[in-house]
Structure 1
Amino acid sequence: MSYPDHARAIWRLGLPLVGGHLAQFAVGLTDTVMLGWYSVEALAAVVLGSGFFFVLFIFGSGFAIAVMPMVASADAAGDEVGLRRVTRMGLWLSVGFAFLALPLFWFSGALLLGLGQTPALAEVAQGYLRIAWLGLLPALLVMVLKSYLAALERTRVVFWVTVIGAVANGLANYALIFGNWGAPELGVTGAAIASIVVHAVSMAGVVLYAVLVLPEHEIFRRLWRPDWVELGRVFRLGVPIGITNLAEVGLFAASSIMVGWLGAVPLAAHGIALNLASVAFMVHLGLSNAATVRAGNAIGRRDAEHMARGARAIMAMSLLVALATVAVFVAVPEVLVGLFIAPDEPARAAILATGAAFMIVAALFQVVDGAQVMALGLLRGALDTRVPMVIAAISYWGLGVPSSYVLGFVFGLEGVGVWLGMVVGLSFAGVLLMWRFWGPTLRSLRARFGAH
C-alpha cells in the first residue's frame, strides 16, 4: 500500500473511533459544564471524584485494550474461534476488576483526606463515587466489546452507541442536577446517577449489535465457562497496558490533587483546562486505536513493512492535529475557559485568569502527547507492552509527578508549575516510546517476519 492508501484506510477506521472517543468524553464534559453552572464547589468535588473514577476505570480497561490487537490478529489470520475466546476472557477479567475496585470507591473519602483534600470536598466526592461505582462494571464491559468491534473494523457502531449514550447522559444530567422536567434537584448525586445511565445504555447497544449482527462469532456462547489459556494471555498483555494507563492518568490525577491543595478556584480552573486539553487528546486516542488495529492486522499477516508505512502515515496525521490544537489554545484561551463558567459566578474572573494560564502550558505538550499515544498504540498492536510500561512509570511518576511538585511548590509557581511538570513527564515518554517502536520493536519484527 502507498502512503495515501494508508492514510485513507486509517481515516476510514480512525474517524469513527475519534468520534466515539469525543462522544465518550462529552459525558465528562457535560458533567463539568453543568456542574460549573450549578456551583463551583460542586464542580471542584466532581473534578476530584471523576478523576478518581477515571484512574480506576483506565487501569481496569487494560484488559479491554488487550483484546483489540489480539482480535485484530486473529481476524487477519481467519481464526474466528480465537477471537471469540479472547473477547470472552476480556469480559471475565473486567468483571473481576470491577468488584475488586469496590472498596476503593466506598472508602474514597478517607483516601482523598489522606491526599490533603478538604473534608467538605472529600465528603461530596465520596458520595459521588459510591453511586458512580455502579457504572464501572458496564463501562468496562462496554470497553471490551468496543475493542472487539473496533478490531473487526466495525467502528461506526462504536461511534453511534457512544453518541446515544452521551445524549442520554446529557438529558439525565439536565434533569437530575438542576431538578428539571419534574425530577428532584440532586446536584452532584444527579451527575453520578446520570453516568450510570450512559454506561447502561451503551452496554445494551453493543450487546445487541454483537448478538444480532455478528451471530456467527457467538461471543456470549458458554460465557460462564473458563478458558484459562486465553484468560492468561489477555491477563499477561492487559496488566502492563493497565499499569501504563494508570501511570499516565495517575500523572493527571496527581496534578488534580496538588492543584486541590491551592483551593476550589484553582481546582475548578484546572478541571476546565484539563477537559479542554482532553478534547484534543481524544482525537489522538482515536488515531492510536486505529494504529493498534492496523498493527495487529500486520502481525496477523506477518508484514513488518506494512506496519512501518502505516506508522509513518498515522504519526503525520497526529502531528497535524497537534499543531492545529496549539494554534487554538494559544489564540483564544480565555474564550474557551469562559464557556464553562456562569456569567454571574463571583469567582469567574479568577477562574478565567488561572485557566487561561493553564491553557498556554497545555499548548506546550500537544506534540509530545500525540507522539506518546501514537507510539503506545503501535506498540500494543505489535503486542509489546512490558517495556512501554516501564518507560511510562519512569516518565510519569519518576519525572512528571516530582517535577510538578518541585515547580509548583518548591519554586512557588503553584498551578502553572504543576502543569509544567506534566510537560516534563509527557516529553520524556514521547521520546522514549518513539525510540522503542522505531528501534527494538520494529527491528525484532523485521527479523522475525523477514522481507514481505
Structure 2
Amino acid sequence: MEPHAASLDPLVDAPAAADMAHAGAHLHAVSLKGEFVAMLRLGVPLAAANLLQMAVYAIDVIFVAQLGTKQLAAITLATSVYGISIFCSLGLIGAVAPMAATALGRGRHALREMRRSFRMGLWMSAFAGIFVMIVALGGEPLMHATGQDPEVANMAGDYLQILSIAAIPVVASNVLRIFVSTLDKAVIATWVTVLALVVNSFGNWVLIFGNLGAPALGLRGAALASLITGLAVLAAYIAIIQADRHMRRHYLFGRLWKPDWPRLAEIWRIGLPIAALTLAEGGLFGAAAFLTGALGALQLAAHTVALQLAALAFQVPFGFGQAATIRVGLHNGAGSHRGVHLAGIAIVTLTLGLAIVFALAMVLIPHTLLSIYIDIDDTSSAELLSIATALMLIAAGFQLFDGAQAVLAGLLRGLADTRIPFVFAVIGYWVCGFVTAWYLAFHTDLGAKGVWIGLATGLFVTSLLMGWRWHRRERLGLVTGTI
C-alpha cells in the first residue's frame, strides 16, 4: 500500500489537494443549468475525439484500398480480430473512470486514491495489452481454420504481427485520456486525436507507397504507421501531463513500479463486466454481419455501408456516456443525490436531443449520407442503394435506443454498477436482439431488414432495462451519501 499523498511531496501535493477541495465544494452547489454546461464541456470534446478516432481508422482503409482487393480484405480481417480485443481491453481499464471520479468527488485523500487508481490502471493496460497481443498473433491460424483465402490470411497475419506491438501503448493512452478527462481537461483528448490523425495519415503515405525515399512496405507499412501513431499518442499524453503544472502535481508516474494489488483487483472487479458488456454488444453487431452475409453479397454490402453511418452517429452518445460516468462518479463521491439526479437529467436530455437530429437526417437525406460510400448516380448501384436506404430508415428508428443505452450504461458505470448492466446486455442483445434478427432474416422475407429490426429490438430492450435500473438506483442502494 502507498503512504498518504502528503508524505510523498508535501510542497507539490498541498496545492493540488486545495484544488480538489475547491472542486468538491463546487459539486455541492450544482444546478441543472450548471450540469448541462459541465456535460457539454466534458462530452463535446470526448465525442469529437471519438469521431476523429474513427477517421484515424478510416485512413488505413483508404490508403490500403489503393493496394488492391486482397490487401483490403486482409486489413478488414485483421482489424476485426484486433479491434474487438482492443475494445474489450478499453472496457476493462474503463473501471478507472468511476473510481477516480468518485475519489475526486469525495475529496478526502483524493490525491492518493486517484493516484492509486491511475497507476494500477497503467499496470492493467500492460496486462490487457499482452492479452491483445496474444489474440492478434493467433489471428492468422484462426483465419486459416475458418476457411479464409490463404494469401489473404497470410497478409493479415503479417499485418497483425506488427500491429500487436501497438496494443500496450494504445490501452495505456486511454488510461491517460481518462485522467485528463476526469480533471476536466477533455479537450486535450480531442487535440491528441487530431495529432493521431496527422501522424497516421503521414505515416501511411510514406510507408505504404515509399514516399520521401522510404521503402514501399505496402500492408506492413500501414501496420507500422499505426504502431508509430500509438507511440506518438502515448508520448503526447505523457508530455502534456508533465508540462501542465496542475496535472503534474498528481505525481502520476512516481513509483509506477510499485504494485498495489488491492486496487488492481478492484479495477478487475469493476472493469471485467464492462469489458464483457463491450464484447456482448460488439459480438451482436459482428454476428449481424455474418447473418447478413449468409443472405448474399449485395445485402452484406448494404449492411456494411449503413452500419458505417450508424456507427458514426453512435460516437456522439458514446462520448457523452463517457462524460456521464465521470460526472456521476464525482457527485456520488461527494455524496450528492441531487447531483447524481441532475447529471442523469442533463445527459439523457442532451443525448436524446442529438439522437433525434441524427434520426431526422437519416430519414430526410438518406441518399446524401449514403453518397459518401455509394455512387448514387450509377444505375448499377440502384439495388444496393435501395437496400441501404431501407436499412437507414430502421437505423433512424433505433437512434434513440442506441443513444439511451450508451448513456444509461455510462450513468450506471459512474456508480460502479457494472455486473447487472452486463446481464441486461446479454438479455437485450442476445436473447432478444440476436434471436429476433435470426428469425426475421431466415424465416421471413425481410432479409437484411429483418437483421436490423433484430438489432433495434436488442437496443430497445437493453435501454429499457438500463433505464429501469437507473430509475431505481436509490432503492437498490447504488448511490452513496445523503445530500
* Length-normalised TM-score, structure 2: 0.85
**Which structure 2 residues correspond to residues 212-291 of structure 1 after superposition, within 5 A?**
212-213=243-244, 214-261=247-294, 266-291=299-324
AA aligned to 2:319 is G
More deviation, 370-379/400-409: 400-409
**Which structure 2 residues correspond to residues 121-140 of structure 1 after superposition, within 5 A?**
122-140=153-171
The alignment partner of 2:249 has SS state of helix
Question: Residue 356 of structure 1 corresponds to which residue in structure 2?
Answer: 389
AA aligned to 2:47 is V
Which one of 416, 436, 441 corresponds to residue 449 of structure 2? 416
Question: Residue 443 of structure 1 corresponds to which residue in structure 2?
Answer: 475
| Alpha-carbon offset, residue 261 of structure 1 | 4.2
AA aligned to 1:379 is L
Cα deviations across residues 72-129 of structure 1 (Å, max 9, x unaligned)? Answer: 1112223101101111111111211221233321222343455565556545444433
More deviation, 402-411/131-140: 402-411
Question: Residue 52 of structure 2 corresponds to which residue in structure 1?
Answer: 23
AA aligned to 2:474 is L
**Which structure 2 residues correspond to residues 366-381 of structure 1 after superposition, within 5 A?**
366-381=399-414
| Alpha-carbon offset, residue 420 of structure 1 | 2.4
The alignment partner of 1:306 has SS state of helix
Question: Residue 144 of structure 1 corresponds to which residue in structure 2?
Answer: 175
| Alpha-carbon offset, residue 322 of structure 1 | 0.6
Cα deviations across residues 53-81 of structure 1 (Å, max 9, x unaligned)? Answer: 22111111123211111111112223101
Q: Percent identity?
A: 35
- Provide the C-alpha distance between the structure 2 equivalents of 1:91 and 1:53, rounded to a whole number of angstroms: 20
Determine if contact 1:269/1:351 at 8 Å carries over to the other structure.
Answer: yes
Which one of 43, 48, 51 corresponds to residue 14 of structure 1? 43
When residues 282 and 344 of structure 1 are mapped into structure 2, their CA distance, relative to the original with a 3 A threshold, is same
* Length-normalised TM-score, structure 1: 0.90
Determine if contact 1:284/1:373 at 8 Å carries over to the other structure.
Answer: yes
Determine if contact 2:90/2:275 at 8 Å carries over to the other structure.
Answer: yes
When residues 106 and 448 of structure 1 are mapped into structure 2, their CA distance, relative to the original with a 3 A threshold, is closer
AA aligned to 2:331 is A
When residues 374 and 362 of structure 1 are mapped into structure 2, their CA distance, relative to the original with a 3 A threshold, is same
Question: Residue 242 of structure 2 corresponds to which residue in structure 1?
Answer: 211
| Alpha-carbon offset, residue 257 of structure 1 | 3.3
The alignment partner of 1:383 has SS state of coil
- Provide the C-alpha distance between the structure 2 equivalents of 1:185 and 1:419, rounded to a whole number of angstroms: 41
AA aligned to 1:106 is L
Determine if contact 1:117/1:260 at 8 Å carries over to the other structure.
Answer: no
- Provide the C-alpha distance between the structure 2 equivalents of 1:349 and 1:194, rounded to a whole number of angstroms: 37
- Provide the C-alpha distance between the structure 2 equivalents of 1:131 and 1:194, rounded to a whole number of angstroms: 10
More deviation, 404-413/138-147: 404-413
**Which structure 2 residues correspond to residues 262-411 of structure 1 after superposition, within 5 A?**
266-340=299-373, 351-411=384-444
Which one of 92, 96, 104 corresponds to residue 127 of structure 2? 96
When residues 110 and 141 of structure 1 are mapped into structure 2, their CA distance, relative to the original with a 3 A threshold, is same
When residues 168 and 243 of structure 1 are mapped into structure 2, their CA distance, relative to the original with a 3 A threshold, is same
Determine if contact 1:55/1:253 at 8 Å carries over to the other structure.
Answer: no
- Provide the C-alpha distance between the structure 1 equivalents of 2:454 and 2:161, rounded to a whole number of angstroms: 31
- Provide the C-alpha distance between the structure 2 equivalents of 1:95 and 1:347, rounded to a whole number of angstroms: 49
* Structure 2 stretches lacking a partner, 5+ long: 1-29
Residue 108 (structure 2) pairs with residue 76 (structure 1)? no
* Structure 1 stretches lacking a partner, 5+ long: none
| Alpha-carbon offset, residue 205 of structure 1 | 0.8
When residues 404 and 411 of structure 1 are mapped into structure 2, their CA distance, relative to the original with a 3 A threshold, is same
- Provide the C-alpha distance between the structure 2 equivalents of 1:386 and 1:293, rounded to a whole number of angstroms: 18
More deviation, 77-86/48-57: 48-57
More deviation, 22-31/153-162: 22-31
The alignment partner of 1:294 has SS state of helix
- Provide the C-alpha distance between the structure 2 equivalents of 1:410 and 1:130, rounded to a whole number of angstroms: 42
When residues 127 and 200 of structure 1 are mapped into structure 2, their CA distance, relative to the original with a 3 A threshold, is same
| Alpha-carbon offset, residue 41 of structure 1 | 5.0
When residues 196 and 326 of structure 1 are mapped into structure 2, their CA distance, relative to the original with a 3 A threshold, is same
Cα deviations across residues 296-336 of structure 1 (Å, max 9, x unaligned)? Answer: 01111101121111211110110111111111122333332
Which one of 130, 136, 160 corresponds to residue 105 of structure 1? 136
Cα deviations across residues 31-55 of structure 1 (Å, max 9, x unaligned)? Answer: 3444456555544443333232221
Which one of 169, 193, 196 corresponds to residue 165 of structure 1? 196
- Provide the C-alpha distance between the structure 1 equivalents of 2:40 and 2:364, rounded to a whole number of angstroms: 28
Determine if contact 2:332/2:479 at 8 Å carries over to the other structure.
Answer: no
**Which structure 2 residues correspond to residues 58-69 of structure 1 after superposition, within 5 A?**
58-69=87-98
The alignment partner of 1:73 has SS state of helix
| Alpha-carbon offset, residue 344 of structure 1 | 12
Aligned residue pairs total 450
Determine if contact 1:404/1:419 at 8 Å carries over to the other structure.
Answer: yes
Determine if contact 2:50/2:316 at 8 Å carries over to the other structure.
Answer: yes
- Provide the C-alpha distance between the structure 2 equivalents of 1:70 and 1:253, rounded to a whole number of angstroms: 31
- Provide the C-alpha distance between the structure 1 equivalents of 2:391 and 2:223, rounded to a whole number of angstroms: 27
The alignment partner of 1:217 has SS state of coil
The alignment partner of 1:339 has SS state of coil
Determine if contact 1:43/1:268 at 8 Å carries over to the other structure.
Answer: no
The alignment partner of 1:449 has SS state of coil
AA aligned to 2:82 is F
AA aligned to 1:52 is V
When residues 349 and 39 of structure 1 are mapped into structure 2, their CA distance, relative to the original with a 3 A threshold, is farther
Determine if contact 2:334/2:481 at 8 Å carries over to the other structure.
Answer: no
- Provide the C-alpha distance between the structure 2 equivalents of 1:357 and 1:38, rounded to a whole number of angstroms: 32
More deviation, 33-42/383-392: 33-42
- Provide the C-alpha distance between the structure 2 equivalents of 1:400 and 1:332, rounded to a whole number of angstroms: 27
Determine if contact 1:400/1:425 at 8 Å carries over to the other structure.
Answer: yes
Determine if contact 2:81/2:135 at 8 Å carries over to the other structure.
Answer: no
- Provide the C-alpha distance between the structure 2 equivalents of 1:183 and 1:343, rounded to a whole number of angstroms: 38
| Alpha-carbon offset, residue 348 of structure 1 | 5.4
AA aligned to 1:143 is N
When residues 406 and 38 of structure 1 are mapped into structure 2, their CA distance, relative to the original with a 3 A threshold, is farther
- Provide the C-alpha distance between the structure 2 equivalents of 1:32 and 1:158, rounded to a whole number of angstroms: 23
AA aligned to 2:284 is L
- Provide the C-alpha distance between the structure 1 equivalents of 2:213 and 2:309, rounded to a whole number of angstroms: 32
More deviation, 49-58/285-294: 49-58
Cα deviations across residues 250-274 of structure 1 (Å, max 9, x unaligned)? Answer: 1122223334445665545433322
